[in-house]
Structure formats: C-alpha cells, structure tokens
C-alpha cells in the first residue's frame, strides 16, 4: 500500500485545484503514476461510477449507486448517485449529500466552489432539475440563477471552458445532442449552432467531448456535423465568436464493427498541450479500428486524416482514456494491449493488461505499467489530477487491493 506520508508530501508540493475542462482533464504529468493505489479513498458499495471531477480539494463522484463508505469501511453513508470526499484525507463530506433522481454521467468543476452535474435525472432534492444542474460543493444545494433548458433526452458529457459550458447527450432542447451554454445562467449560446446529424442509431447522441484551447472535440453516433461528413468523430473550431466545423476529417470510424455496435466510439482526451488527442472504442473482435485506442494530430488537415498509431485489445472494449504527456491511460474490460492480431485471444506480441493499462504517447506501444483491475463492465471515468490519476469503475479490486469503484494512483 502506498504510504500516507508519501501521499502527504505529494499533496503539499502540488496545486490541488484544477481549472477548466472536465473530461479526463488533460493535466500534464512528469512521469507515469505509481501502480500502488493510495489507501485513503472511500468505497462505492454498489452500482457504477461514471464521472469524476475535482473542485479545489474536493473530489466529486457521480454514477449510479446508493451507498458509500469511508476507506476503513467502518461507516456507511447513503448517497443517491452523487457524493464528495476530501482529496487529502479521503473523508466523505457529510454536508454534500444531494439526492439525485437518476444516474449521473457527466461532471465539470465550476467557479466559486460549485460543480456542474449532468445525467438522466429529473430532480435533485425534490426540486426540478432536468438532466443538468449546478450545485454548491459546500452543502449540495442548487445554485440560484443557473437555469438550463435541457429537454427530450439526457446529458452524457460536460466540459467547462471559461465562461462557457459545453454539453453533450441525446437531448433535443436547446439543440440536438450538442450545445454551448452560459456557465452562469445556463442560457444557450446563439453563436454555437453546430449540429450533429445522420446518426448510425435511432437518435443522435454525443458520447464524449473535450476542449483544448480553440478546439472542441466530440464523438458519438453522428456521421455529419452541420451536414459535413464527420463519421463518429469531429473537431469544431471555437476560436471565433461563431463556432464552425474544423477542416479535419478521418475515415477511420466510417468502417463497420460488429452489427450490434453500429456506433462504437466512446472516450476521448486531448494531450495537455492540445497537439494531439486519443479516441477509444468498443466494437467487437473484427480488427481495424474496433476495440482500440488511436492517436490523431489535432491540427492536421484533410478529408482522411490517418491515426498516428493504433493500439488494439484484440476484441475487448475500451471506454475511457486520460492523456498526461507521460502516458495514455486506457480503461475498459480489456485483457490485452498490443494485440492487433488477436480475436478474443492473445495474438503475437500481445501483453496482459487486465482492465487498465498505459500506452506510450509517441510509439503507441504498451508501457510496463500494469497494476491490474477486476474487469467487470469497465473503467467509465478517469480524472488526471496534478497529484495522480483517479479511476472510477464498477468493480472492487484495483492495483491488487480492495478499492470499490473509486481509487487513485499517485505520482511517485
């Protein structure tokens, strides 16, 4: 187990607050995190963790669950789909206990000790809040004046960028599947009109999004953005007042995977410098771009941008990715990495990386980091913080220790 003294040294020498984007958070790390999780994280006793963010020194965790406990498993707390704990000590915050009426899928840090919460819910603490809310971290209360109009579907992903909040999901109000809101009022921005279209499934859904400088990265079931061909992944230029689709397109995700996965993109994240990003997929053991992590260059131009590298699991889904500069962390229910010739099997050169792994950002090959994780459904949430890597999933063993559904690998 990672020593509490060492963790205290890391925390005292690092800035705990992280401002800006709440995807995997694009924080630069000087090295790969330890494979030994910290001892202080609490436990989520049922369900699944879908989202993590950090507000000051507070970790906010969202998902579909009803009970959490302290690290020692001596005290159990009732928590409906959302809870918070102190990053330094692991103490579950007693005053942050909002009752969210449905699953939480997206979180983003706000100003003034607040957090944005997105998901498939209709109310919080018996007050109307459809799909999106802003809460005070001090007491879990709704922040007055934030009144977004989300309708016709759920919110799956959030990213805050300055005074703007980017929202993705399968909603139809205020726009189809993708919107930019005023971070204070929740009002839809009339200068953001980019619309995903021609879905591969019954309706358009944005699975994930991230922001870096003047680019918004989105993936989902769409095949067009504003009528321009962008199969499942697209970049939007947000550098000017009016957003527009960037001159970047890849055909990589136009390929078909297994029939049960008509749309198969899942997690994504920018590098800390914004120069590249990585997309992870599900899809079934068909080879190609299915069940892979793939790096792309952000400022490449063209109608068929090729991935810089692709790392295949050989038939197992990846759901989440965090890019720190030192590593590309991937999570799902994979058994292997470096396995392009595997078909639900270990092909030549495959390396065992159950449930979680790390890839070299330049070579695209698996790093030696191999803490292991009970596979289950998979990792649904990463958050790269200045002090380490937070991980959320549906299983109870991480790094060969008991860490139920939430854990953290520290920077050594």
Q: Which residue has the tokens 């380490």?
A: 388
Furthest CA-CA distance within the chain: 58
User: CA neighbours within 13 Å on the CB side: how many for 378?
Assistant: 21
Task: Using alpha carbons, list the distances in angstroms from residue 282 to 96, 110, 160, 239.
Answer: 35, 31, 26, 31
Alpha-carbon gap, residue 153 to 18, rounded angstroms = 30
Tokens of 62: 């969202």
How many other CB atoms are there within 10 angstroms of residue 5's CB atom?
A: 7
Phi/psi for 84 (5° steps) reads -140, 150
Per-residue pLDDT of the chain (412 residues; tens, 9 = 90+): 543 333 333 333 333 333 333 345 579 999 999 999 999 999 999 999 999 999 999 999 999 999 999 999 999 999 999 999 999 999 999 999 999 999 999 999 999 999 999 999 999 999 999 999 999 999 999 999 999 999 999 999 999 999 999 999 999 999 999 999 999 999 999 999 999 999 999 999 999 999 999 999 999 999 999 999 999 999 999 999 999 999 999 999 999 999 999 999 999 999 999 999 999 999 998 778 999 999 999 999 999 999 999 999 999 999 999 999 999 999 999 999 999 999 999 999 999 999 999 999 999 999 999 999 999 999 999 999 999 999 999 999 999 999 999 999 999 9
Instruction: Give the strand pairing for 48-55 and 58-64.
Output: antiparallel
Domains observed in the chain: 4-410 (2.130.10.10)
Alpha-carbon gap, residue 169 to 200, rounded angstroms = 15
Nearest to 209 by CA among 112, 344, 118, 93: 118
């Amino acid at each position: 187990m990672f020593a509490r003294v060492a963790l205290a040294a890391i925390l005292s020498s690092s800035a705990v607050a992280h401002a800006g984007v709440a995807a995997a958070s694009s924080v630069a790390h000087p090295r790969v995190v330890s494979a030994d999780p910290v001892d202080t994280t609490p436990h989520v006793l049922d369900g699944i963790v879908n989202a993590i963010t950090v507000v000051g020194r507070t970790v906010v965790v969202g998902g579909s669950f009803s009970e959490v406990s302290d690290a020692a498993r001596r005290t159990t707390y009732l928590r409906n789909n959302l809870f918070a704990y102190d990053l330094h000590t692991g103490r579950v915050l007693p005053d942050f206990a909002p009752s969210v009426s449905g699953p939480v899928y997206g979180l983003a840090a706000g100003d003034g000790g607040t957090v944005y919460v997105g998901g498939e819910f209709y109310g919080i603490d018996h007050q109307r809040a459809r799909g999106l809310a802003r809460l005070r971290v001090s007491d879990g209360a709704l922040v007055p004046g934030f009144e977004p109009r989300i309708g016709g579907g759920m919110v799956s992903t959030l990213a805050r960028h300055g005074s703007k909040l980017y929202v993705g999901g399968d909603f139809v109000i205020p726009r189809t599947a993708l919107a930019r809101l005023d971070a204070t009022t929740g009002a839809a921005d009339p200068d953001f009109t980019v619309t995903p279209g021609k879905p591969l499934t019954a309706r358009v859904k944005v699975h994930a999004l991230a922001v870096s400088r003047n680019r918004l990265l989105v993936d989902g079931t769409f095949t067009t953005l504003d009528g321009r061909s962008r199969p499942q992944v697209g970049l939007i230029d947000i550098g000017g007042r009016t957003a527009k689709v960037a001159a970047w397109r890849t055909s990589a995700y136009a390929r078909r995977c297994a029939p049960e996965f008509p749309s198969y993109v899942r997690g994504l994240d920018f590098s800390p410098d914004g120069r590249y990003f990585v997309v992870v997929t599900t899809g079934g053991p068909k080879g190609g771009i299915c069940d892979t992590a793939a790096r792309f260059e952000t400022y490449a131009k063209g109608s068929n941008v090729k991935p810089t590298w692709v790392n295949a699991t050989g038939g197992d889904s990846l759901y989440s990715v965090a890019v720190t500069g030192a590593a590309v962390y991937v999570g799902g229910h994979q058994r292997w990495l470096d396995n392009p010739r595997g078909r639900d099997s270990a092909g030549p050169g495959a390396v065992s990386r159950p449930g979680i792994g790390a890839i070299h950002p330049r070579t695209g090959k698996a790093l030696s980091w191999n803490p292991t994780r009970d596979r289950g459904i998979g990792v649904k949430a990463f958050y790269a913080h200045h002090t380490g890597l937070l991980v959320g999933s549906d299983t109870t063993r991480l790094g060969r220790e008991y860490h139920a559904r939430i854990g953290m690998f520290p920077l050594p």
